[in-house]
Chains A and B, each alone.
Chain A
Amino acid sequence: MARIIKVSNLNYRYPDGTTGLKDVSFEVEEGETLVIIGANGTGKSTLFMNLMGILDGDGHIEVMGLLLNKINLKDIRRGMGMVFQNPDDQLFCPTVMDDVSFGPLNLGLDADQVTEASQKALALVDLQGYESRTSHHLSFGEKKRAAIATVLSMNPRILLLDEPTSGLDPRSISKFINILYTLKSQGKTLLIVTHDLFLTQEIADRVLVFSEEKRPIAIGNYKEILNNYDLLLKNNLVHQHRHRHDAVVHEHEHRHGYIHKH
């Protein structure tokens, strides 16, 4: 497999002086699913913004063999799509169809190709028949799926998903995981930011853990990382709190999303 993303020594400071990212380095292989986990505010989303060239940190980023700079930015954005956490930011057009066709139109496709690409993307996220619906009137789950379609219609090789399952009910989450499996089987490279360990276990090939110091502290096979209790505990992904086993309520550290017996 070929290397598709390479980040080395990436640093980012917000305009107000707070550190966003500190010395981030990692590589992603083509076709793999890398899940980036970390507690709130550890710089996961900031990393995505840097990868897309929206924020401009210091360091070296290489995507699809191209160095991320002003000249290559357009080509990189053609091949790499990002889905924002809040679908209301992603869906800015009056109707779903307008939004889904926004990307392909900007790629310079003709009307038929645009329609075809949009229909295909909507079918993939199971939103056929939603073309002329107003984004505001969709349910949150539908909005999340429409947001993915807006990027899929551009047929990117790499997909960055920021908290894809946050705010979704269990049924919507399983629907979402199905979509992610389909994308994986199509050979797309997926980068997913989340703190949902259930999703991580379901979909990840490798896992990158962000620490509270705003930098990656570990990267490895998903089993290896998810079984490393100390690591997860130290980075606030597992914690001690009271919880219930039928009649017994007691306290010990555990992972969310896991059902364990006592």
Chain B
Amino acid sequence: MKLTNSLLEILDPRTKIISFLAIMLCMILTPITRMRDFGLYFLLILAIGFFSNITPRQILKKVCILIPFVLFIAMFVPFVKEGNVCWSLEISHWKLDITYEGVWTFLNIIVKSTLSIFLLVIATSTTTFPDFLKGLDMLRVPRLLVMLMSFMYRYIFVLIDEARRLMRARSLRYFGSRYKEQFRAMGYMIGVLFIRTFERAERIYSAMIIRGFSGEILSVKRFRFSSMDILFMVGIIVSLVCIVSGLVNKIEHMRVSGAHLWQGL
């Protein structure tokens, strides 16, 4: 058990949702050519991380889990994007072109998503999922969506446990070979899982209507903004304005496409 809660854990979930969304939005709208701004954003995120109880090691560990997914998606962009070719590879009749535009887009995706992932990791390690849902609910996110997410959170583990039990039962009676049969077994398992989930949903719905559910989702726990929340939000907004205004002054730079800058160098 932790003895003290960090600032980020004390904050109202709404504060975190709003400020983190604001940071992400600013980051995403910044052109990739402004590398210095991304450095500043990184510093801002580090500063936020400083107010949590999580160690940099823990953050990095979680970030490293997520990065490969982004990398996999972004990997092909430099080869596919059309534009000025900066490097090409020919193997007999195969030809691979890497374009300036492609490289910039690649960097765009990687830098922005990495920073966003850092922010997400900090957010999720300092907010419990139920609190996050309550925050969303109070920010007037449609109730149906919030409820769907809450059911997913509640039952995904139950479902995983059930799937694991099925797999275990199968592997205990499987002694190798007959690979084709295994696909059939897998199919049965998916089917069984689907039917069980479906029937469980019916029982859950019964449990809900018995307790007076009539389609409206109600909730008790209310959060209150404290001076800490206001201070934190003001801090975030001031930092964002500082970073973004540097961008406003040199607005003409935004019009210059990445490719031209590159060639100009």
Contact = CB atoms under 8 A, between A and B. Distances in A.
A82 B214 CA distance: 17
Given A103-B212, A111-B220, A86 B203 contact: yes
Interface in B203-245: 203-204, 206-214, 216, 218-222
Contacts of B207: 84, 89-90, 92
B211 A151 contact: yes
B27 interface: no
Majority SS of interface residues in chain B?
Answer: helix
Contacts of B158: 88, 136
A134 B213 contact: no
Given A106-B218, A136-B158, A77 B130 contact: no
Contacts, number: 79
Contact of B211 (A81, A89, A114, A115): A81
A82 B210 contact: yes
A154 B211 contact: yes
Contact of A49 (B157, B206, B219, B220): B206
Query: Which of A92, A98, A115: most chain B CB closer than 10 A?
Result: A92
A97 B211 contact: no
B9 to A, nearest CB: 13
Q: Bin the interface of chain B by size.
A: 20 to 34
A77 B210 contact: yes
B220 A105 contact: yes
A106 B206 contact: no
B154 A93 contact: yes
B208 to A, nearest CB: 7
A135 to B, nearest CB: 7
A105 B213 CA distance: 9
Interface in A14-31: none
B137 to A, nearest CB: 11
Contacts of A134: 130
Interface in B184-212: 200, 203-204, 206-212
Interface string B101-116: 0000000000000000
Contacts of A136: 154, 157-158
A94 B212 contact: no
A184 interface: no
A98 B220 CA distance: 8
B154 A92 contact: yes
Interface string A51-91: 01010000000000000000000100110011010101111
B220 A114 contact: yes
A87 to B, nearest CB: 10
Contacts of A78: 212
Contacts of B130: 94-95, 98, 132, 134
A101 interface: yes
Contacts of A154: 211-212
A201 to B, nearest CB: 29
Nearest to B128: A132
Interface string A25-54: 000000000000000000000000100101
Interface of B: 128-130, 133, 150-151, 153-155, 157-158, 200, 203-204, 206-214, 216, 218-222
14 contacts: A77-B211, A82-B210, A84-B203, A84-B206, A84-B207, A89-B206, A90-B207, A92-B204, A102-B218, A103-B211, A103-B212, A106-B211, A115-B220, A132-B128
Interface of A: 49, 52, 54, 74, 77-78, 81-82, 84, 86, 88-95, 97-98, 101-103, 105-107, 111, 114-115, 132, 134-136, 150-151, 154
